[in-house]
Amino acid sequence: MKKLLVEFIGTFFLTLTVATAAVLGTGTPHAAFAIGAVLMVMIYAGGHVSGAHYNPAVSLAVYLRGRSSLQDLISYVGIQLVAAVVAVFVAKALVPGQAVEPKVFPHVAPVLIAELLFTFALAWVVLNTATAKATSGNSNYGLAIGFTVLAGAITVGGISLGAFNPAVSTLLLVIGKLKVADCWLHFLPQVLGAVGAAYAFKTTHPEDR
């Protein structure tokens, strides 16, 4: 239960920051920095309890890498998605009356590529800094992971909305920034990115089981 509570808290503050700072515009033009920062501090706060995934794609990568059980994967993903939905209602209460226009994606390929590459990068960094034996006990993993999201948000946020996280995409869907018809442009490449990162890690670290 304590792991799920930590996952809820971390995912809630991450998605709340995305909703308020980026979607509702309270953090413009510094939303990406707020998102990277809140992820970093929440990872440091909860990493020793739950692993601080705060992201179903990361949970999937950690499971495929062999560092969590199927039961943990299912429960983590469930609580992360619940946290994202709760964050929508809190964000709307904080910024009442703010209209949200859905993002229009004129081209499919750039969105798919952006979400795939930076979800891969995020999961790859998590696996290498927070689960690898060679980096065990390091104090830099939260900074590395937060900066990966910051870099991705700045680089491709204008292309794909820069989610790299099915919980964030769920938030965007519920709040109205991501259209239902377009949600596959996020969820599919995010899953593929996580799977790719897990198997890339296993290939490059065959001794780390």
Going from the C-alpha of 34 to that of each of 11, 14, 28, 30, 147, the distances in angstroms are 14, 9, 10, 7, 11
> What's the chain's average pLDDT?
96
pLDDT of residue 137: 87
Is the pLDDT reported for residue 63 higher than 90? yes
Is the pLDDT reported for residue 109 higher than 90? yes
Judged by DSSP in three states, 132 sits in: coil
How is the chain split into domains, by residue range?
2-204
pLDDT digits (tens, 9 = 90+) for 135-193: 988 989 999 999 999 999 999 999 999 999 999 999 999 999 999 999 999 999 999 99
Write the single-letter amino acid at 209.
Answer: R
The residue among 114, 25, 3, 82 whose CA lies nearest residue 34 is 25
Identify the burial level of 82 via C-beta atoms within 10 angstroms of its C-beta, where 0-12 means exposed, 13-18 middle and 19 or more buried.
Answer: middle
Is the pLDDT reported for residue 117 higher than 90? yes
- Give the whole-angstrom CA distance, residue 18 versus residue 26: 10
Residue range 124-128: mean pLDDT, rounded: 97
Residue range 88-100: mean pLDDT, rounded: 96
Quote the percentage of the chain above a pLDDT of 70.
Answer: 100
pLDDT of residue 160: 98
Statement: 2-204 belongs to CATH 1.10.3720.10: no
102 close to 179: Cβ distance less than 8 angstroms: yes
Give me the half-sphere count of Cα atoms (radius 13 Å) on the Cβ side of residue 61: 36
> What confidence category does residue 28 fall into, taking pLDDT thresholds of 50, 70 and 90?
confident
Is the pLDDT reported for residue 208 higher than 90? no
DSSP 181: G
